[in-house]
A and B are shown apart, each in its own frame.
Chain A
């Protein structure tokens, strides 16, 4: 699986050549590698933008404004779900939970969090991304890396950015705090 990420870090998505190389290296059948790469949504079988934006439309985010963000971004960029802008800079995907419900509505770009988004802030994110200078993620590193760079990190090639910025925020720890207080 790191190898599939590695293929993405070079080709931008999981290419057939990549699958063949992995199958050869690991002595697997191409059908088996394809089965894995098509099962997980982080592996893309078609090219994505340099900045891949995922908008959560699961229950909590949707209620908090995720649906509105998703619709407006699609309209703003004039693309459909899983579409890529003509310049190849930004692609949009609706996500089933970004695992950050405490910051809903959440948008992610190249797997970095943009918390408590609004329609305007999300538009600013995609516009910045198209212009080549996306705003920094709310948590984590101080700058947003490209999709290929992010894939390289997932493949195990540490870029040293992982420990930057806020790791665990106040809302995430709130439940723990309350439960500890309750115990006392």
Chain B
């Protein structure tokens, strides 16, 4: 099984440019990553059934492989083994005492019994100790209904406690605006401590005291500041750490799960949007080992509450006095059509914002092209790469390339801000594979050690020429990887930087033809960019004529000088942000949680979002139909045909 998984993993390299639509649906399955080279495989017997496992496996992993579920609190697949909850006790033939399966390695012909009376009693005993100090406040606990402690105590707990003593109480900690603490409920599994240390790379949480005074704490009440902190809420097996904005708003059994994709950064993290009725209540990560493993950033987790405020839900037309007049959708479309057809094609300018899906962009492009307008741009400061080949703007070694590379050079890139989940993967590779990281550009605060090479493009030139002191190290690397930030290319010397990176790639192993390795990677900052580039949207040389009609497709962070003062501005988007202030005509749209649409992430993976909540008014649901009727083309009449064309265009 492992070998099969690994061989797929190796084969995938070099196949970066082809992402099949079949990848749209990912199976949620964690992969075990063995800590050492697989050397030896042998049989162990789980409840009498033989199974061949690797020597590096623990008994717990072998049981999981055999399909036997073992209860656990402290063990987590992506964290180090702590072995402190003792819930995973199993009986091992030849051992007088039950053994903690998560912390014990397998050995040849090991006979494990997981379902005997002895294990049941042992686990029942552990349960009694865990519940000795755990409050019985499940009815008012947000974890109620999705609590590991509840679930496992149903199976192993006893109906009556034998403890006559008082339960202890622990003071709650204020660790920031996103995490609510109820420390009395804590069972000291230390998952949160291990997560902040090992994944997020911040040492803010610790285990303080011992015995009955043991608690999870920060040193003097302190905020947990890392950008992945929300994940400790998911990791907490009890209700000690809760999602603060979500607290007391919903019960898990009322929620409907919607599998979709995040657009807050270009990674395309897989998310599970929980809705009640038409409201989104919270967002949880979904497992996708090739994208976000099982983490999401705090931004992805909490951004949805912005969709409740300042929504554009009726078409509006600005009057000469500056106020807005409400229009029907039909009136709004006629006004837009009239304005667009009243000017010449090169007097129209289209700017595509950062949260747009492939279908919208395609319809938008087609509409403007039909009006003889080629001046469409997805980028704010127009970086200079072209869209002739996919490898010119993708993360070519893919996100999983970080697990394979032995030297990573960040060029003008702060992954901690640009893509926190990717940063966690880099940190993991630093810890597990001994990945070396070098930084070129301003020195960011990263949760791992790195070599700072320099601050100017001259350093890049020295590296490409092989005259930099670091060149020797780079030459030794077998599969080095360059992560170039899309924002670095927005500089005026963006083209020169890109050329230097290409030169560096050719002179070193960054492009390793023998290993089919292309280590030149561009990390985009916006979710819509790769999709737009896939559709061939590159900025044309700016037209001589000044734009008379500017069409903003959800674009909010454009440069102010890009919009001529006397131009008629059409803003089509979902939130009254920067772009709406410029607008003369506002056509409401749907947000990423309200539409079924394609997004392509930074490594070229097309993923489909699913509609989780309803848009604030029925009009907004018709956003794409509005585009369709504007472009007067029969294929846009149905979303399915639009998507089919979009998929063909994704190459």
Contacts and interface: CB of A to CB of B under 8 A. Distances in A.
Interface in A28-78: 28-35, 38-39
B210 A34 contact: no
Contacts of B204: 29, 31
Contacts of B202: 29
Nearest to A35: B206
A38 B203 contact: no
A34 B208 contact: yes
A90 interface: no
Contacts, number: 35
A16 B210 CA distance: 19
Given A16-B220, A19-B219, A34-B219, A29 B206 contact: yes
Contacts of B580: none
7 contacts: A31-B205, A31-B206, A31-B208, A31-B217, A34-B208, A35-B208, A38-B213
A29 to B, nearest CB: 3
A32 B207 CA distance: 8
B203 A31 contact: yes
Of the listed residues A16, A30, A31, A38, the one surrounded by the most CB atoms of chain B closer than 10 A to its CB is A31
A38 B219 contact: no
B205 A38 contact: no
B209 A31 contact: no
A38 B220 contact: no
Contacts of B219: 19, 29-31, 33-34
Contacts of B203: 28-29, 31-32
A163 B580 CA distance: 83
A16 B220 CA distance: 9
Contacts of A35: 206-208
A20 B297 CA distance: 30
A32 to B, nearest CB: 6
B206 A39 contact: no
B174 interface: no
- Chain A interface mostly helix, strand, loop or mixed? helix
Q: Which 5 pairs, one residue from A and one from B, show the smallest C-beta to C-beta distance?
A: A29-B203, A31-B206, A30-B219, A35-B206, A31-B219
Nearest to B219: A30
Nearest to B196: A31
A130 B222 CA distance: 40
Nearest to A19: B219
B229 to A, nearest CB: 14
B209 A39 contact: yes
B218 interface: yes
Contacts of B222: 31
B194 to A, nearest CB: 13
Interface residues on A, range: 10 to 19
Of the listed residues A16, A19, A33, A38, the one surrounded by the most CB atoms of chain B closer than 10 A to its CB is A38
A30 to B, nearest CB: 4
A57 to B, nearest CB: 15
Contact of B218 (A16, A28, A31, A39): A31
A25 to B, nearest CB: 15
B210 A38 contact: yes
Contacts of A28: 203
Contacts of B207: 35
Given A35-B206, A35-B207, A38-B213, 12 more contacts: A16-B220, A28-B203, A29-B206, A30-B220, A31-B204, A31-B218, A31-B222, A33-B219, A34-B208, A35-B208, A39-B209, A39-B210
A83 to B, nearest CB: 17
A143 B638 CA distance: 95
A29 B202 CA distance: 8
A16 B213 CA distance: 19
Interface in A97-151: none
A107 B217 CA distance: 34
Given A16-B220, A19-B219, A32 B206 contact: yes
A39 B188 CA distance: 14
A31 to B, nearest CB: 3
A5 to B, nearest CB: 18
Contacts of A34: 206, 208, 217, 219
B218 to A, nearest CB: 6
A20 B568 CA distance: 60
A12 B209 CA distance: 19
A19 B206 CA distance: 14
Contacts of A19: 219
Nearest to B215: A38
Nearest to B218: A31
A158 to B, nearest CB: 29
A31 B218 CA distance: 6
B488 to A, nearest CB: 30
B201 to A, nearest CB: 11
Contacts of B218: 31
Interface in B133-177: none
A139 to B, nearest CB: 29
A19 to B, nearest CB: 7
A19 B204 CA distance: 14
Contacts of B205: 31
Interface in B318-352: none
Contacts of B208: 31, 34-35, 38
A28 B205 CA distance: 12
Interface in B205-254: 205-210, 213, 217-220, 222
B347 to A, nearest CB: 59
Contacts of B213: 38
Contacts of A30: 219-220
A36 B409 CA distance: 36
Contacts of B210: 38-39
